[in-house]
Structure 1
Amino acid sequence: MHTTLQKYLRSLEPILLEDEARGGTDFKTACAARVKLVEDFERGLGPTCQERLQELNKNSPNNWLNDGIWLKKAYHEWRAPLIVNSNWWLALGDDDGIPTSVRYPASPVDRCAPWQIRRAAWLAHRVLDFKTRLDRQELYPDTTRTGLWFRHSALQAFNTCRIPQRECDRFPSRPTASDPDGHKILVMVADWMYAVEAIAPDGDPLSAAAIERRLRAIVSDVERRHERGERAVPLSVLTTDDRDRWADNLAHLLSLSPSNRAIFTTITNSAIAVSLDNYAYDLPESQRTSDPDLTAHLHNIRSGHSDRPGHNRWYDKAFTLIVEANARAGVLGEHSPVDALVPSIIADYAIVQGVDEAAFSSALDADVVLAQSGDVEGWERLDWVVDAKVEAECVEAARRAKAIVDNSDNDELVFDAYGVDWIKEARLPPDAYIQMALQLAWYRTRGEFTATYETALTRLFKHGRTETIRTLSTDSRAWVLAMADPSTSTDTRFALLQRALQTHSQLTREAATGRGIDRHLLGLRLMLRADAGERHALFEDELFARSQEWKLSTSGLSAGYQFRGTGCVHSLA
């Protein structure tokens, strides 16, 4: 505990230095006040909290953080909508086998297309094959060090769904191996929902060709419904809403009919979800970027079409494949079961091998979607019973989702002047180097520093999740200020950079090996018994909260060549 608290004090130094530089309390006085808080905690409630935490760990099957605290505090107690705020998303690379005329259509597309369906079937088959091989320990077996961490983590992405409840969400019990719903995938097209049998009773995934036939039949069914003038009630948009509101609406929805309960169980227990978008999203002229195709791709995976965000997605589902009419593909997932690196490894397995035409019985042509939509078995409609209240709530939820999406953005920067190889040749650590670049960019564009979050995976530990790397340090601040001072020499700047990189690398090692501070501080704070009147000024200090106000949140992703890069999210609040 003493070590954690001393590291915490060091992490406050750049914030206090910046406060002083901007006319706030002088550094020594502000530091002394925080040292006093820490010492008082160590002499008083601290040891008691530490003992309680150790006792909790002793009684936890895996670890104190993951078993009893992390899901609730990091995810399930938060009431904010999942769309934009929480869900992760991945843009998958193109399949070289898909014709250019399909990938880049000459005119707007407003219906599902043959290549879209084929790629969706292929990707679904590959993802389910990955799951089967994990189940059988043919991939990442428990006998390997990596397998001990990864196999458990990866299986959390399948056959589950976050369930909204007032105050705190939950996970359902996982389906048994013999549960028919666990062998299905949820398919969404134009806001209609379907279930497809995609896993055989023995656990093997159905062939890509078999899944394709069933997806074709569904698309044909949707088109016939459209021809009859039917339009789906966009129930899935309710999953984008405030969690308490969604919980209330779900309770009402389930009360309308037993069939609704059966549908919800199928959605919850299904292996994965597949969203077929009957359009190829294009950015509005006002949002054009240097690579409008990639930016449009990112926007659609994150939140759907800008005119109707949140449609045709079930945001509570842990793993959703999304394929547009031009065969662009991505993955969207609810964050609480697993961290984004894990599904990126699953997705990498799915796309590393492009669509194998030999796996399908026929070549594609323009009429194939409707021509082969006859008596295909293995799929069913999931048609909800709704009333006027549900329809009205969908309208309001869609309006709120659009407001969230309109108030956010995502874009990419492809930096090609040099890359990781050059950084390594310079004998500098690539991750730390990129983090320093982000610190410099933030300061140059905003004229100030901010607390910065970077993810460290704690994969060395059973059921380990993440720890925080506090990127903003006294050394990173000193280097950034030197870069902003034209009188500072190149040699001095480089020396300061090396020191900042060394500090960041040390923080990274500590976080990855269970010696970070943020999870420990969380545990200590939660060991206070509020019902007994226990509290401490350390955790009520405004600087304690400000040091965790991550206006810049970053994470690296490097599961395969398709995913290499660093993502950063920033808030203007």
Structure 2
Amino acid sequence: MNHNTAAVLPRLPVPDLQKTVTKYLDSLRPFLLEDAAHGGPSYEDAFALRTKWADDFVYGIGRVCQERLHELDRASPDNWLDDNFWLKSYLQWRAPLLINSNWWLVFNDDPLHPSEEHLVSGFTEWQLQRAAWLVHRTLEFKDKVELQELHPVTTRTGVWIQESVSKMFNLARIPQRYCDILSQISSPSDPLSCNIVVMVNNWFYAVRVYDPGPDNSRILIPAETLLARLNVVVHDAATRAECAPEIGVLSADDRDSWASILQHLLSISPQNVETHEAVVNSLMCLCLDRENHSIVLPSSSSSLPQPSSISQASLDSHLHAIRSVPSNVSNRFFDKPYSIIVDPSGRAGAMGEHSPADALVPSIVGEYAVVQHVEMTQSFASAEHSATNGSWSRLEWVVDDESLEAIRAARARAEANIKNSDDSLLWFEEYGSDWIKSVGFSADAYIQMAIQIAWYRTTGEFTATYETALTRMFNKGRTETIRTLSVESRAFVLAMTDNDHSISSETKWDLLRRAVQKHTSLTRDAATGRGIDRHLLGLRNMLRQGERSELFDDLLFARSQEWRLSTSGLSAGHHFRGTGFGTVYENGYGINYLAAPSMVKFGIETKFSGGNTSTEVFKDAVYSNN
């Protein structure tokens, strides 16, 4: 295969203005039907008013905004969206990355997992072996993608993977007041780019994972060599008399607070400048936790069947440890796009900052790392004294009273956020994607309808629903919204929740078929650059001072984007126990799911403070739908 000819990805288009507005009006129909059904304005009058506003927009200021968007696109190196709006929408968000923004992946145990170490604390041989292996496999994947040994750029998928994977390593999000920035990807010639940052007992260490090779090349060290270096680092951290300043928890705080205290830290010592630079330019983080997190679920907490191969308590304990809990939240650096986490029992997972790459990308990397079980030819004992000088170093932070007070305040806020996170996994094992496809449905659309029913059964109302679609067929494509709530999905949900049982099974099946077909059509549009939400964002941003439109001023415009159901499907998840991300709205849900041939794994997160939401109740509703 000729690896010198890269496939060319088309440019993300600016969608047609009239088509976008027509699709937007269609997405408002279920809201207007609901309002009319509950004593609001008649559906016909309300829809006619929105149609008038839409026409005024298309033939007025909207046409001007569309032309401005085309001008912006012509002036943009890659595309109108990613170069100007999309990344900024992440970086301007001031909420803590902890739970609210960062994603997390929960890896399956390694087949060699020693069960007797489940309850231990302190650092273990198996923990370091698995950590070394996972890091090695992760960087092996990175190197193979760069060398085009995997996913060559002669295919469009290869171009997308190479571009996306490159944004996971050697950079970080940097907090700044009002709007963060992303660092530049560090050069392979930069010595700092050859290191990973290892966090142990809240201490930061730089560990070199690429050694110099011939002709200025660099060579990925064997897993056994990394094991030796990790062993020395852990021994160093375990024998330090003083406690580490909990700098990691500062990165879990709201972004303006973190920006302010980081600037203070950088101003009080050049050592802090060097340390932060080393962390930012490093490949990734490895977080070695000292304790296993364990929760005990009350026996009456759920009527759902237990997962087939693990207890629910063990499953959620593992999930929470990767998401972060009070005992390990300081042993993280939330600004890095990819961090591997391993606890003393060898349970592992990954967590990362969302803005450089969408969650499917780290899941592809994670699957490669996990699919092959640990293979070590060198024992822990023989590795102990084989780390060479210069292969690792301490990364010190200098702190003062002001920064210590900021750490105490940040920890209190982080613990409150963690305590408020109602987070669990549901393994639905009755059937999976094979059966769904066998009856003629898209597995993703079918699962979305199950989520719609669960929401309605637990709240008695409908809500705007966000599902992620990737626009990876385009150059620098990121995501688009699939608006799951539609006239068709609403009709199906109402039929399925009909208490009079007056609707036949045949009618319900037909309504499901129509809802799935509608969702499949919306998905196709979103993935092929014909979605509406990114276009509406661009058009709205093209309005200049003093310009306005009834279309955007309409309260229903904001309501149709109030994503109290924020959802995303990943791969079949054969190598993950589950995944997760936090809800954007306090009274909403963040739902990530993995559709395997014979089961579906749901990661569900909401807030205890939401009042009318409950992860356990929602899990029960999802299960009972099927």
Task: Work out whether the TM-score is over 0.5.
Answer: yes
Match of 2:418 in 1: 405
2:237 paired with 1:222: yes
**Cα gap change, 1:292/1:567 in structure 2, threshold over 3 Å: closer, same or farther?**
closer
- 8 A Cα contact 1:220 1:370, kept in partner: no
Q: Residue 23 of structure 1: CA displacement?
A: 1.8
Identity, % of aligned positions: 51
- Alpha-carbon distance in structure 2 between the residues aligned to 1:140 and 1:79: 36
- 8 A Cα contact 1:214 1:376, kept in partner: no
Gaps of 5+ in 2: 1-16, 307-311, 577-593, 596-601, 612-626
Q: Residue 265 of structure 1: CA displacement?
A: 0.5
Q: Residue 204 of structure 1: CA displacement?
A: 2.7
**Cα gap change, 1:569/1:546 in structure 2, threshold over 3 Å: closer, same or farther?**
farther
Amino acid of the residue matched to residue 204 of structure 2? M
- Alpha-carbon distance in structure 2 between the residues aligned to 1:13 and 1:570: 27
Q: Residue 537 of structure 1: CA displacement?
A: 2.3
Match of 2:244 in 1: 232
Which residue of the other structure, out of 135, 141, 150, is the alignment partner of 1:139?
150
SS in 2 for 1:525: helix
- Alpha-carbon distance in structure 2 between the residues aligned to 1:277 and 1:543: 47
Match of 1:395 in 2: 408
Q: Deviations over 1:51-109 (max 9, x none)?
A: 11111111211111111110002x0011111111100110011100122212x33xxx3
Q: Residue 423 of structure 1: CA displacement?
A: 0.9
Amino acid of the residue matched to residue 185 of structure 1? I
| Larger deviation, residues 93-102 vs 270-279 | 93-102
Q: Deviations over 1:381-405 (max 9, x none)?
A: 1110100111110000010111111
- 8 A Cα contact 1:216 1:373, kept in partner: no
SS in 1 for 2:230: helix
2:332 paired with 1:313: yes
- 8 A Cα contact 1:555 1:567, kept in partner: no
Match of 2:50 in 1: 34
Q: Residue 376 of structure 1: CA displacement?
A: 5.5
Which residue of the other structure, out of 309, 318, 335, is the alignment partner of 1:297?
318
Which residue of the other structure, out of 18, 29, 38, is the alignment partner of 2:34?
18
- 8 A Cα contact 1:552 1:568, kept in partner: no
2:493 paired with 1:480: yes
Q: Residue 43 of structure 1: CA displacement?
A: 1.9
2:346 paired with 1:331: no
> Residues 125-274 of structure 1: matches in 2 within 5 Å?
125-201=136-212, 202-225=217-240, 228=241, 230-274=242-286
| Larger deviation, residues 131-140 vs 243-252 | 131-140
Match of 1:458 in 2: 471
Amino acid of the residue matched to residue 86 of structure 2? W
- 8 A Cα contact 1:132 1:204, kept in partner: no
> Residues 356-371 of structure 1: matches in 2 within 5 Å?
356-358=375-377, 361-362=378-379, 364=380, 368=381
Structure with bigger helix share is 1
- Alpha-carbon distance in structure 2 between the residues aligned to 1:213 and 1:371: 6
2:482 paired with 1:469: yes
- Alpha-carbon distance in structure 2 between the residues aligned to 1:541 and 1:189: 52
- Alpha-carbon distance in structure 2 between the residues aligned to 1:265 and 1:431: 42
Q: Deviations over 1:299-352 (max 9, x none)?
A: 11112x3x3462100000000000011000000000000000000000111111
Match of 2:535 in 1: 520
**Cα gap change, 1:354/1:311 in structure 2, threshold over 3 Å: closer, same or farther?**
same
- Alpha-carbon distance in structure 2 between the residues aligned to 1:200 and 1:221: 22
- 8 A Cα contact 2:224 2:376, kept in partner: no
Q: Residue 40 of structure 1: CA displacement?
A: 1.3
**Cα gap change, 1:540/1:569 in structure 2, threshold over 3 Å: closer, same or farther?**
farther
**Cα gap change, 1:59/1:569 in structure 2, threshold over 3 Å: closer, same or farther?**
farther
Match of 2:453 in 1: 440
- 8 A Cα contact 1:157 1:337, kept in partner: yes
- Alpha-carbon distance in structure 2 between the residues aligned to 1:471 and 1:560: 23
Task: Kindly tell me the number of residue pairs found equivalent between the two proteins.
Answer: 555
Q: Deviations over 1:349-382 (max 9, x none)?
A: 1111110133xx22x5xxx499648865411111
- Alpha-carbon distance in structure 1 between the residues aligned to 2:122 and 2:382: 10
- Alpha-carbon distance in structure 1 between the residues aligned to 2:223 and 2:263: 37
| Larger deviation, residues 534-543 vs 398-407 | 534-543
> Residues 35-50 of structure 1: matches in 2 within 5 Å?
35-50=51-66
Match of 1:347 in 2: 366
Amino acid of the residue matched to residue 567 of structure 2? T
- Alpha-carbon distance in structure 1 between the residues aligned to 2:82 and 2:251: 25
- 8 A Cα contact 1:553 1:568, kept in partner: no
Match of 2:101 in 1: 86
- Alpha-carbon distance in structure 1 between the residues aligned to 2:285 and 2:57: 48
2:125 paired with 1:114: yes
- 8 A Cα contact 1:119 1:355, kept in partner: yes
Match of 1:431 in 2: 444
SS in 1 for 2:65: helix
TM-score, normalisation: structure 2: 0.86
**Cα gap change, 1:377/1:212 in structure 2, threshold over 3 Å: closer, same or farther?**
farther
- 8 A Cα contact 2:422 2:605, kept in partner: no
- Alpha-carbon distance in structure 2 between the residues aligned to 1:353 and 1:515: 39
Amino acid of the residue matched to residue 187 of structure 1? V
- 8 A Cα contact 2:424 2:603, kept in partner: no
- Alpha-carbon distance in structure 1 between the residues aligned to 2:572 and 2:179: 32
- Alpha-carbon distance in structure 1 between the residues aligned to 2:38 and 2:169: 50
Structure with bigger strand share is 2
Match of 1:383 in 2: 396
Once superposed, what is the RMSD of the aligned Cα atoms? 1.8
Amino acid of the residue matched to residue 348 of structure 2? A
Match of 2:581 in 1: none
Q: Residue 190 of structure 1: CA displacement?
A: 1.1
Which residue of the other structure, out of 293, 299, 319, is the alignment partner of 1:281?
293
Match of 1:492 in 2: 507
Q: Deviations over 1:491-546 (max 9, x none)?
A: 1111111111110000000100011100000000001112xx12222112111111
Amino acid of the residue matched to residue 210 of structure 2? I
- Alpha-carbon distance in structure 1 between the residues aligned to 2:350 and 2:105: 5
Gaps of 5+ in 1: none
Q: Residue 285 of structure 1: CA displacement?
A: 4.8
| Larger deviation, residues 161-170 vs 128-137 | 128-137
TM-score, normalisation: structure 1: 0.94
SS in 2 for 1:79: coil
Amino acid of the residue matched to residue 190 of structure 1? N
Q: Residue 434 of structure 1: CA displacement?
A: 0.6
SS in 1 for 2:496: helix
2:113 paired with 1:98: yes
- 8 A Cα contact 1:420 1:430, kept in partner: yes
Amino acid of the residue matched to residue 417 of structure 1? E
- Alpha-carbon distance in structure 2 between the residues aligned to 1:46 and 1:163: 36
